């Protein structure tokens, strides 16, 4: 059961996503508020029990006015209603178990969210969106991380599979290691060392650096790590969302059957490849900004600490 999306619900989820100063995208806000408006399906079992009990009590009360036939009929109906309660409870349990095995429902489409609840909330509470990424920060294969001291071709690279993910990583850049560089990985797919231009130079810079790839669970995103390896990057770490083993509890989007990019099927187990071919996808935006940054930091190389000179 889904309840309407209110401005108050949006503001609360914006506050939660922006905890500890994290920046978040409108798509992350969309998934968060869709989770927030989910409500358990209403149960009729208690009402059935109450109705049956009320009929039996009423039958007993009518005995005082010597209406034995009516009392008997009411009592029988009350007992019959009470007998329905366990059957209804069993049906409700089966329904909830089936729902738990399925993916989570989305209250509305993302486009409808942007033009409806979000637009209204931005007008009603303009002060509540300090963490919302309104525009893509200027990120290239080359803008340096804040406070970084490195030369081109050195340090950690964090690659996103889509512009929105790159914007999220760039907006939270201060949480990355100081030598990290945020890049648009999709701009480098299909590039080879013989390619001329800036894309080839950017790829050459990645050749001997660790590249952490953050991506959706969809054919394009899952193919990005392998594409970068085939293009010449030697230290690629996949920190994206893999195709899930089950859709239970996940906010999965279903689409038309998809063709997998060349080379991807060999990189994945058969079950994951079949999941991608089915047309389903799971977006990185279903995670909070804190969870996304945790994926990146878990894949970053551990820093070496200098020995204590006093030891």
Written as one string, the DSSP assignment of 3-55 is ----HHHHHHHHHHHTGGG--B-HHHHHHHHHHHTB-PPP--HHHHHHHHHHH
Mean local confidence (pLDDT), 279-306: 88
Describe the crossing of helices 68-101 and 45-62 by its angle, rounded to 10 degrees. Answer: 170
User: 183 forms bridges with which residues in the sheet?
Assistant: 159
Residues written for the chain:
311
Residue carrying the six token digits 């009402």: 47
CA distances from 5 to 38, 53, 250 (A): 10, 38, 19
User: What pTM does this model have?
Assistant: 0.77
Instruction: Convert 93-117 into a string of H (helix), E (strand) and C (coil).
Output: HHHHHHHHHCCCCCCCCHHHHHHHH
249 or 138: which carries more pLDDT confidence? 249
User: Measured over all CA atoms, what is the biggest interatomic distance in the chain, rounded to whole angstroms?
Assistant: 102
Q: Over the stretch 90-137, which tens digit does the pLDDT of each residue have?
A: 886 777 666 666 778 898 999 999 999 999 999 999 999 999 997 544
What pLDDT does 146 receive? 39
The mean pLDDT of the chain is 83
Q: How confident is the model at residue 272 (pLDDT cuts 50, 70, 90)?
A: very high
Q: Which helix (H) or strand (E) element contains residue 183?
A: strand 181-184
Token digits of residue 188: 């480098």
308 or 274: which carries more pLDDT confidence? 274
Q: How confident is the model at residue 237 (pLDDT cuts 50, 70, 90)?
A: very high
143 or 164: which carries more pLDDT confidence? 164
Q: Quick check: 33 pLDDT over 80?
A: yes
Q: Quick check: 284 pLDDT over 80?
A: yes
> Can you tell me the distance from the alpha carbon of 212 to that of 179, in angstroms, rounded to the nearest whole number?
13
Q: Which of these ranges, 33-42, 127-136, 147-156, 276-285, has the smallest mean pLDDT? A: 147-156
* Environment class of 177 (CB within 10 Å of its CB; exposed 0-12, middle 13-18, buried 19+): middle
> Can you tell me the distance from the alpha carbon of 32 to that of 34, in angstroms, rounded to the nearest whole number?
5
Mean local confidence (pLDDT), 41-53: 81
> Can you tell me the distance from the alpha carbon of 19 to that of 23, in angstroms, rounded to the nearest whole number?
9
Mean local confidence (pLDDT), 62-68: 71
Q: Are 37 and 9 in contact (CB under 8 A)?
A: yes
Q: Which of these ranges, 15-29, 134-148, 159-173, has the smallest mean pLDDT? A: 134-148
Tell me which residue of 148, 261, 159 sits closest to 203, measured CA to CA: 159
């Amino acid at each position: 059961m889904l309840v309407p999306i209110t401005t108050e619900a949006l503001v609360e989820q914006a506050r939660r996503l922006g905890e500890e100063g994290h920046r978040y995208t409108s798509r992350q806000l969309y998934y968060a508020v869709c989770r927030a408006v989910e409500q358990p399906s209403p149960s009729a079992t208690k009402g059935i029990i109450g109705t049956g009990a009320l009929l039996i009590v009423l039958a007993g009360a009518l005995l005082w006015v010597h209406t034995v036939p009516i009392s008997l009929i009411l009592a029988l109906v009350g007992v019959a209603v009470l007998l329905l309660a366990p059957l209804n409870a069993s049906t409700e349990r089966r329904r909830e178990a089936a729902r738990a095995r399925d993916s989570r429902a989305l209250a509305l489409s993302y486009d409808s969210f942007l033009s409806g609840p979000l637009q209204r909330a931005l007008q009603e509470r303009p002060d509540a969106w300090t963490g919302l990424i309104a525009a893509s920060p200027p990120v290239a294969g080359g803008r340096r991380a804040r406070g970084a001291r490195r030369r081109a071709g050195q340090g950690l690279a964090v690659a996103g599979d889509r512009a929105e993910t790159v914007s999220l990583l760039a907006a939270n850049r201060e949480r990355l290691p100081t030598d990290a560089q945020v890049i648009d990985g999709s701009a480098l797919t299909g590039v080879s060392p013989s390619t001329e231009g800036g894309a080839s130079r950017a790829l050459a810079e990645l050749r001997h650096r660790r590249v952490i790839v953050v991506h959706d669970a969809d054919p394009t995103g899952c193919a990005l790590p392998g594409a970068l390896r085939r293009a010449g990057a030697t230290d690629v770490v996949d920190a994206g969302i893999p195709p899930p083993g089950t859709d239970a509890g996940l906010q999965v989007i279903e689409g038309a059957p998809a063709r997998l990019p060349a080379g991807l099927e060999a990189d994945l187990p058969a079950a994951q490849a079949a999941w991608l071919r089915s047309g389903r996808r799971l977006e990185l935006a279903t995670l909070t900004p804190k969870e996304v940054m945790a994926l990146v930091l878990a894949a970053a190389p551990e820093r070496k600490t200098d020995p204590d000179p006093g030891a």
